[in-house]
Amino acid sequence: MNEDPNKTRELTRAERLYRLRHSCAHIMAQAVQEIFPGASLAIGPPIQDGFYYDFDLPRPLTDEDLTEISKRMNKIVAGNHRFVRKVLPREEARRFFEERGQGFKVDIINRIPEGEEVSIYESDRLVDLCAGPHARYTKKCKNFKLLSVSGAYWRGDETGPQLQRIYGTVWPTKKELEQYLELREEAKKRDHRKLGKELGLFWFHPWSPGSAFWKPKGTTLYQTLEEHWRKSHKEAGYLEIRNPIIYNKALFETSGHWDHYKENMFTMESHGQEFAMKPMNCPDTMLYYKSELHSYRDLPLRVSEGGLLHRNEKPGTLSGLTRVRQFTQDDAHVFVRPDQIESEIGEIIGLIDRTYSLFEFELKLFFATRPDNYMGELEKWDRAEAQLRRALEASGKPFKVNAGDGTFYGPKIDFYVRDSLGRDWQTATVQLDFQLPERFELTYIGKGNRPERPVVIHRAVYGSFERFIAVLVEHLGGAFPTWLAPVQARVMALTDEINGYAREVAAILRQSGLRVEVDDRSEKIGYKIREAETQKIPYMLVVGGRDRDAGVVDVRTYSEGRRGTMTPRDLAAEMLQKVQDQTFDVKLKKVDLWKDEDVLEIDMEGRGF
């Protein structure tokens, strides 16, 4: 028996969670095998907030099965068995698992590089192929909960055997488990699909699956974000264009999408020509560039286009606003000389940073460098990556390097935003592209009066408006800051008699350009307040006889509650100031269980099984 080499030093929280979760997966595997004696085990790694294990089972699992598995797990935990590590000679290990019908394990052993140890872990009645490490005793895994069952493929291969995956979570303390489960509940409440319906923002219809229908309030939200996008991009020197969305396939043959992305495009035939709806803005923005002659003095040329995009995503992958077939990217392409990469990247990082700080998102930057299948000249890559790195360093923002994670056409920076519930979303992106300029034979006239090739920078700040709105709705729990709220104020008359004054107040605010509703129904004020609160309207204005006589409104805000009276003009001035400053007047409820451990970086490749 080998002692754990890390035992002598203090483990980090991430390491402890890794062991705990991995161990809990083993316990679950034993429980499943007790119920289904022939069940073969695939892989069971820890993941960011729990673990899963994939099984090949004779029948689909039900919720009742999960209850039964949990019960058995509790017994194994209570037995407080020790996790014992053993190293086996490769042949012996192979025979061991073959005899037990554990073909997946044999497959794994066959893939373990020669020279590496093959180890197994025993706990109670389970013996599993496993690199470890593990908790020392099963009792550590007391605070677990099984969450869901789903399908999965062996090695993620669609053509391979279909397995059943059970997800679960486990935490060092009962309190943390409870917090985590509360977090899940909170996330459910804030689900943008639920809030989108409740707040009247958007809806879906089966006759256009994967495409949102925006209601008036959602449209206002969308347009307000668009206005902000337009304004901030004008300030940053971008020129906006409007291109078609349907193209002859020749465009995509030139860009390379026809070969590599055709299955994801909507195509149609008309008058003997084959057309496709564009899945991204880059190819046709190249056409724009080519429509004019460019001098090196014109660069960087910043061209933005919020074109309507369509991608024919597989039916089973669609989900709310985060996975759609029709969407708009806040896209732009910057054409630069190779020597301008660094400064332009710096500009873009600044723009992205300013935008996300408006909503109190935390940004994380990942620098993805040259992959193995890269195209183009190595030297070009090296110089560009060096520039990207300098721009990142100059931004003063911390970043991580994902070596080899870049695209084949260029290195990139991915931005992840961490929302108020501690979840990370990939949104903004900055990608260098050496290939498109080649394919479209883009040139500018250089200093030496000879054509030279520009570099293209693809970049998006929000990502897509649809996805960003989904993230924003969940981040804010549907309570938007005043500048963004579809309805900024609702005037509520105390009695029918005051309705006239309520409309006057609304008119004053509307003249300032504010979005105002009047609730003139014959309902009690408590009822009206309640409804305005559930709609998360930033300003709720109560007017009664007293207020009318004094020429004021009684102000209640979503973020601060009841505030007292003020005149409609003072109120309009306050609200306009907030609109202009894009004030974040939202009380953000933050829950972040991951704050210390950061992203659990778990290597699921190789031997993390």
Partner RNA sequence: GCCGGCGUAGCUCAGUGGUAGAGCAACUGAUUCGUAAUCAGUAGGUCGUAGGUUCAACUCCUAUCGCCGGCUCCA
- Is 333 a residue of the active site? yes
Look-up of token digits 């870049």:
406
494 binds RNA (CB under 7 A): yes
- The catalytically annotated residue of 21, 22, 145, 412 is 412
Total of residues contacting RNA (CB under 7 A): 62
Stretch that binds RNA, among 146-154, 236-244, 287-295, 594-602 (CB under 7 A): 146-154
Backbone torsions φ then ψ of 143, nearest 5 degrees: -95, 70
| Residue 383 lies near RNA (rule: CB under 7 A) | no
CB–CB of 47/6 below 8 Å?
A: no
Which residue stretch of 72-80, 173-181, 492-500, 568-576 sits at the interface with RNA (rule: CB under 7 A)?
492-500
Instruction: Kindly tell me which of 559 and 583 has the beta carbon lying closer to RNA.
Output: 559
> At closest approach, how far in Å is the CB of 529 from RNA?
4
Phi/psi at 148 (5° precision): -160, 165
- Shortest spacing between CB 443 and RNA, in angstroms: 20
Cα–Cα distance measured from residue 369 to residue 23, given in angstroms and rounded to the nearest whole number: 34
Which is nearer to RNA, 131 or 309 (by Cβ)?
309
Q: Backbone phi, then psi, for 419, in 5-degree steps?
A: -90, -175
| Token pair of 489 as six digits | 């104020």
Report the 3 state secondary structure along 365-431: EEEECCCCCCCCCHHHHHHHHHHHHHHHHHHCCCEEEECCCCECCECEEEEEEECCCCCEEEEEEEE
Residues in 159-188 at the binding interface with RNA, rule: CB under 7 A: 162, 164-165
| Closest CB to RNA among residues 272, 316 | 316
Q: Is the peptide bond before 58 cis (omega within 30 degrees of 0)?
A: no
Residue 580 in the binding site for RNA (CB under 7 A): no
Under 8 Å between Cβ of 412 and 406: yes
Catalytic-role residue among 311, 364, 490, 515 = 311
x/- string (CB under 7 A) for RNA, residues 282-321? Answer: -------------------------------xxxxxxxx-
**Dihedral of alpha carbons 416, 419, 421, 425, sign:** negative
**Shorter beta-carbon distance to RNA: residue 248 or 495:** 495
Q: How far is the CB of 52 from RNA (least distance, A)?
A: 8
Contacts (CB under 7 A) with RNA, residues 421-450: 435
CB closer to RNA, 12 vs 150: 150
Q: Which residue from 409, 434, 440, 480 is in contact with RNA, where contact means CB under 7 A?
A: 409
Binding mask 518-557 for RNA (x = CB under 7 A): ----xxxxxx-xx--xx-----x-xxxxxx------x-x-
Shortest Å, Cβ 538 to RNA:
13
| Rounded-to-integer distance, Cα 129 and Cα 140, Å | 21
Active site includes 412? yes
How far, in Å, CA of 405 to CA of 416, rounded? 15
What is the 3 state secondary structure string of 573-599?
HHHHHHHHHCCCCCCCCCCCCCCCCCC
Tell me the C-alpha distance between 369 and 437, whole Å. Answer: 20
Cβ pair 163, 55 in contact under 8 A: yes
Residues 54-83 that bind RNA (CB under 7 A): 60
Q: Which is nearer to RNA, 213 or 295 (CB)?
A: 213
Name which of 301 and 493 has its Cβ closer to RNA: 493
Asked if residue 284 lies in contact with residue 251, where contact means CB atoms within 8 angstroms, the answer is yes
Cβ atoms of residues 336 and 303 within 8 Å: no
The full 3-state SS of 513-555, as one line of letters, equals CCCEEEECCCCCHHHHHHHHHHCCCCEEEEECHHHHHHCCEEE
- CA-CA distances (angstroms) from residue 368 to 333, 389, 407, 411? 19, 10, 8, 6
Catalytic residue among 65, 284, 330, 331: 331
Q: Which amino acid is at 598?
A: D
Question: What is the nearest approach in angstroms of RNA to the Cβ of residue 314?
Answer: 3
Residue 275 near residue 304, CB atoms below 8 Å = no
Site map for RNA, 240-279, x if CB under 7 A? ---------------xxx--xx--x--------------x
Q: Which is nearer to RNA, 42 or 363 (by Cβ)? A: 42
Residues 539, 555: Cα–Cα separation, whole Å: 7
| Comparison of 230 and 380: residue with beta carbon closer to RNA | 380
Q: Which is nearer to RNA, 93 or 492 (CB)?
A: 492
- The piece of 72-80, 229-237, 364-372, 495-503 that touches RNA (CB under 7 A) is 495-503
Catalytic position from the list 458, 467, 475, 556: 458
Q: Find the part of the chain contacting RNA (CB under 7 A) among 202-210, 417-425, 468-476, 576-584.
A: 202-210
Q: Active site includes 331?
A: yes
From the list 99-107, 145-153, 467-475, 584-592, the region that binds RNA by CB under 7 A is 145-153
CB-based burial of residue 321 (10 Å sphere; 0-12 exposed, 13-18 middle, 19+ buried)? buried
Determine the Cα–Cα distance for residues 583 and 578; give it in Å rounded to an integer.
5
Q: Which residues are catalytic?
A: 282, 311, 329, 331, 333, 412, 458
Applying CB under 7 A, the residues found at the interface with RNA are 60, 148-153, 156, 158, 162, 164-165, 193, 197, 204, 206, 209-210, 255-257, 260-261, 264, 279, 313-320, 407-409, 435, 494-497, 522-527, 529-530, 533-534, 540, 542-547, 554, 556, 562, 565
